[in-house]
Every structure is written in C-alpha cells, then in structure tokens.
Structure 1
C-alpha cells in the first residue's frame, strides 16, 4: 500500500490491552502528541479491543494538551483495557469483519494496539484482513508488558518500573526482617508476577549481592521447584545469616508440571488463575522447618506503582508511542517499534521497526545464563542486563494533600454509526 497523504482525511485508533503498567499511559501520551503534531485526530477504544468491537470510541481531541501531557506520570489505563483474545480468523471471522466495519465507518486508517504477545497477533491479523477486504488500514503493535516476555525487543516498556519496584521492595522488607529476626520472623516470602518467564523474579536479585545479601533465594518459573533443595537452602541461610528472604515467581511448578499455586480456574486467554504461591511456600516452611514467617503478595501494586517508576522505563514507553505514529504515517504496516540495546555502560538504546510476525505469540524466557548454578540467584550477566532498566527516577507532581496529582480524562464518546454488536 502507498502511504496516505498527511493532509488527507483519516483517523488513528489507539487501544490498550491486557494488564496495564505504571507507564502505559506515557505511551498513550506519546501516540496522541505525535499524531496531533501531524494533524491526525486520535480516537481511543474504550476498554481495549472490546471498545472497537462495540463501536465504543473516545474522541481524544476533546482533551487539553495539559491533560494529555499528564498521562506521562499517571498509572493505570486511561482509556480502559481488557483481557479479551480474538480467536483465529477462520473460527471468528465475524469479529474481524466487525472491526473492519467499525474502522471503515469512522474513516480510521491507522490502528495502534498497545499490548503484549496476543495483541501483536491481533494487530497482525487485522492488517491481513484489511488487505483481504480491500480496506486501507495500517496496523502497528505497540509494546507493553510487565513480564518482559516479548520477542525481538531488548526489553518491554512497563518492565523496568516493575523491576525497580520489586528490587526496592525486596531490599526494604529485608531490612525489616533483619531487625526482627532474633525474636520474630525468620523467613519472609515475596510473591511476584511471572507465569512462565522469571524476569520480575530475577529483578529482585538487584536488591543485593553476595551469599548473605537478600534475596537469599529466588524461585524462577523456568526451573522446576525442588522442595528438598529449597528447604535445605532456607535452613542453611537461617542458620548462617539469622533470617532468609525468598522471592518466588507466581508460575513455579513442581516436577509433575503443576503450578504450586493452581487455583483451578482460567482467564479469558485460557491461562490458569493462580491462587498464591507465597502462602503455599510459607506453610511448607512452617511445617517442615518450624520457622516463623511472613509473606506478601503485592499483586496490582507491582504494576501500578508509578511513584517508583524507572526513568529509563518511562522514557522508553513514551518513545515507542511516538515511534508507532511515525511508522504509521510513513506507511508501515504489521510492525512494532522495539527497543535495541546499543551498550550496557553507559546504557544506550534506540527504537527500530520489527515485523509483527516475528513477535506475535512468541515468548521470551529468562536465559539459563542469567540463573546461578544452584538455581536460586542471578548471575553477573543478568545484573548487566537488568541494572540499566531500573536507573533514574521519574518524579511526580504532588498536591497539597500530599498525594500525586494524577489526571482523569473526560473520555467523551464518539457518536455510533453502526448497529450494536454482541461480543
């Protein structure tokens, strides 16, 4: 397809997908500000791809420049997100055709989908269907995930801030445990996100170096959980140090391949709903070793902690949003702006374009070279990779009440033109 003229009619649709991050709205700000600079109106789908299917669109031109700028420091998903996976074109063609109908009805010529692996796949399929149906649409996947598991890109916007939050939380909680260990808690267990990839768990390792520094044990989903080895490591650490900090990924499995925290339900993507691995481990420590314990499940706090965001992460999130618009306006299709690392120290990076078919439905696991031989820590190579991603602070404006001044958009709806569609 030939690039459209900048002055020609056409709108851009932006949507957020899946679990949000502390910096996903920085990406939204990058998209909207870059599009405005080129005279392109941006619509946003309310609650992700469901908003597009329902023709529930938001006119971002109704927002002031200052409100859009404030998105750069506001967590959550400004336009709403959803966990809704579009199935194959063959089995759910009606949904894809509905999307094309909505795009056509509102003269949307550029679709930017801000999400992870499944979202990259959706953007790719819509681009393919657009060609098949003769509709001039360019689809750009925009990277976002706290799990850092997207292929091709060096890191994922959203991960650096979760990594910083996890490392800081591990350090602070460990100082607390150390001060109480003589008469109280001997073992502290922090459960972190990461169903299949242990990037967040690995980030906890930045809290300290050396055998006696926390976290003393990291449990990765890439390694099979060995109960005997785990208990032996806890016991040896407590006897040597006086206490033990454990960081466990929610996705650790036993030798039979079962999640330790399997809750028996599944989400919209077909993923098992995990019920909490920390209490399972805590009960094991109590039963087998008799130690007093505490455990914590930060859950949403990990991905919403904008007050502790990484400057590197915030800058990268904004940059991929702007780059996505540049690629769309240049006529690129079925691509994603990805981050390429140029150097570790000092850390240097750039944005480049990568094809969606190299990213969609692929999962980047933690390399085995990043895990120590005993399986309970991170290596020097992991530190070199992780350390730059948590560097710098991204300060917030605070109000007189002592709370951050976050923005809440008006999110004025666009008038519908089509009949309702049931999803």
Structure 2
C-alpha cells in the first residue's frame, strides 16, 4: 500500500513558535517515507485547502525546515476563517474532502486553537461519512493559553516571557523618572476571556513594591473605585504605579471596556484600546501623568526572546501529532501533561478533539488573589517554568536570521471553488 500524503495548516493568530510545530510535523513525516508521502501546507491556512492552494514542502531544503524552529509568525500563512457547522455549510467540508481525495491526502494536521480543533473533528467525521477517511490530528496553539485539558498551549510561554520582561524593563524606566514625570504606566496585553498573559507580568516582581502593582484580568469585573484607590496607594507608597491590563477586561455589567462594536471572522467581538480607556479614567479622576503601551503583535511575534520551554513543547506537539497518526490514533490533539513544578517535568499526552473543540479554559479562581488585582503563589508556581530558558535565533548583520520559504505551489486538479 503506497504512503498517503499529508496536509498541514496554520490557523488563527500566529505565535513566536507555531513554526516550530510545523518543523516538528514536517521533519517527523520526512523520517517516515514508508508511511507518509509529501506534506502539503495550506497557503493561508484552511483557505489553502478550500481553494486548492497547496504549498509543496518537499521543495524546501532540510536546512530551511530546520530553520522554521527559530522563525516567528506563520511561515505558510494563517487565516481567521471559521468553517460553520456541517448542516449549515456542508459544501465547504465536502470541498476539503474533495481536495484531499484529489491529492491523495490521508492525514490532516490542523495547528490552532479551539475553533480549529472543532474543524479537525468535523473533517474526521465527514471523511468517514463520504467514504474517504482522513486521519485528523489537532495541534494546540494559542498565545491566550485557553485550550482545556492541556497544561499549557504552545505560544503562551513565549508571550508570557515577553510581557514579564517588558513589565520589568518599563517599570525601571518609570521608576527612574517618576519624581518629575510619568507616575502611571499602563501595558495592554492580549487575552479576550482569559487573563493568562496579563497574569504573567507578575513574574517581573522580585520584591514588595516592584511592578506590576495592579493586574486587571477578564475574570474579575472592574470595580473602578477600588481600582483607583489601588493606583493612588501605589503612587503614594512607591512613587509610581505600573498597571497591566488584559484587552478583555469587563465592566461590572459584563460589557467589554474596549468593545469596538465589530466582530472578527470567528464571530468574536473586536477588542482594542483598553489601555487608553484606563489611562483616561486615571487622568480624569486622579490627575496623574501617564503613558501607555499596547503590546499587540509585538508580544506574539517576539521570537528573539522566546521561552526555551515553549519552543521545545511547540516542536514536541508537532512531532507527536505525526507519531500519533502513524500509531493509528484519530480525532485527537496532543497535550502537554505536567508532572512536577520544580524541577519542571512534562510529557506529551492526548485528548479527544470532541473534548477541546470550542471550549475556553480561563484562569482558575485559586490563581487570583483576594484583592482581584494580582495573582497567587500557586499561579506563579504554574507560570515560572513556562518562561524558562532562552532559545535565541541565529543573527546576521545584527538582526535575527529567519527562514524564507520557496513556497512552490502544487498544480490544481479541481475546478475553482465557489462557496
């Protein structure tokens, strides 16, 4: 029986280490030519399958694929594109199976968050129903760290490291000028419903009085009066205040502070600009001079300061996805299973896609302190190993030297797709 080809796609917001997962998939598949033929990558994620725009990874050298491990963003292109339910949008799912059949693809590796795991699960079901079974393995990825079951999500450790470093460095800057200049600095992080990224800023604190002084989490509705009292106490006690705020912070009535009134392709409320809203509240009430920064894409693209733990785990889940597929597993996602905090030990496990599809994991209550403005020691014990170690990319002429793909396309065999 001849080896089936594989399809790999990246989905949703990219990370500093998603390409490490891609390297894990491709290098492991290349080590098993008797079972897997060519790995095709979707140009711009799942859109590459819908429009039969496939990248032939066999045209990339071993050196280039190896370099993906230290290259940020989505090397093959990603997309915020959610396939709807099978009943309401069966045509798109059938198109995926048609493309897979046309290119002799028997393996589907989908690298993304909860929505992506849902798609992989549905494809596994439909392939069986259409008489063309496809082995579907989800690969976890999200900076938000909000996938259930897995101890952590590849991509989170590096953004957590970036935010912790940024908080410490900006804190030193503000402290040095607070007497005559800025008294309050606000750093806005990603995190729609889960405050993991903002919480990671707590790792910057080494001693009482160090920043961050206030962390605003989506899990805790904002009490403006208590918040302003906390800011004032920090300025009066330490001379300045550093606030880290998650983009998903909500008012007491449950509405987002930074709701822009629009939705993205996944149906999520578009957020952005909570830092200036918090800054205006402080200025108008307390009168302090402030500065704010919105980390935005910088936090998830910062491969130059990636966590070594994160890089290793991202590669491991890509590798495990192929190994699990070859072992006959289907409709599952590899997970990170924590064995101990210190020393930090972990191994790769698995979970059924049905258990993680469209499910968000928020910070547990025991990770948020009684004030609601900081995290507990239990949270810090959880976070510390995830940012551990450095895995610097190679540098050339003073800048990181990242992989560049040839991106050779596969000749289409089907008519153009019209949804």
Q: TM-score, normalised by structure 2?
A: 0.98
Of the three residues 79, 86, 95, the one matched with 2:83 is: 86
1:413: Cα distance to partner? 0.3
1:209: Cα distance to partner? 4.3
> What does residue 373 of structure 1 align with?
370
1:422: Cα distance to partner? 2.5
Of the three residues 7, 10, 15, the one matched with 2:4 is: 10
Task: Note the 1:293-372 alignment, pairs <5 A.
Answer: 293-372=290-369
Give the Cα separation in 2 of the matches to 1:91 and 1:80: 27
Give the Cα separation in 2 of the matches to 1:307 and 1:53: 34
> What does residue 47 of structure 2 align with?
50
> What does residue 265 of structure 2 align with?
268
Matched, 1:240 2:247: no
> What does residue 403 of structure 1 align with?
399
Task: Note the 1:13-412 alignment, pairs <5 A.
Answer: 13-39=7-33, 40=36, 41-399=38-396, 401-412=397-408
Give the Cα separation in 2 of the matches to 1:396 and 1:105: 38
Give the Cα separation in 2 of the matches to 1:411 and 1:15: 14
1:255: Cα distance to partner? 1.1
Task: Name the SS of the counterpart of 2:395 in structure 1.
Answer: coil
Task: Name the SS of the counterpart of 2:336 in structure 1.
Answer: strand
1:275: Cα distance to partner? 2.8
Q: Which runs of 5+ in 2 are unaligned?
A: none
Q: Deviations over 1:315-360 (max 9, x none)?
A: 0000000000001111211001100001100000000121111111
> What does residue 421 of structure 1 align with?
417
Give the Cα separation in 2 of the matches to 1:94 and 1:159: 34
Aligned residues: CA RMSD: 0.8
Q: Deviations over 1:61-95 (max 9, x none)?
A: 00000000000000010000000001000000001
1:136: Cα distance to partner? 2.2
1:210: Cα distance to partner? 4.7
Task: Name the SS of the counterpart of 2:148 in structure 1.
Answer: coil
Query: Structure 1 residue runs of 4+, over 6 Å off?
Result: none
Q: Which runs of 5+ in 1 are unaligned?
A: none
Give the Cα separation in 1 of the matches to 2:266 and 2:46: 14
Task: Name the SS of the counterpart of 1:114 in structure 2.
Answer: strand
Is the contact between residue 124 and residue 133 of structure 2 (CA under 8 Å) also seen in structure 1?
A: no
Aligned residues: 416
Q: Deviations over 1:233-275 (max 9, x none)?
A: 0001100000000000000010111111111111001111113
Give the Cα separation in 2 of the matches to 1:96 and 1:133: 10
1:103: Cα distance to partner? 0.4
Q: TM-score, normalised by structure 1?
A: 0.97
1:196: Cα distance to partner? 0.1
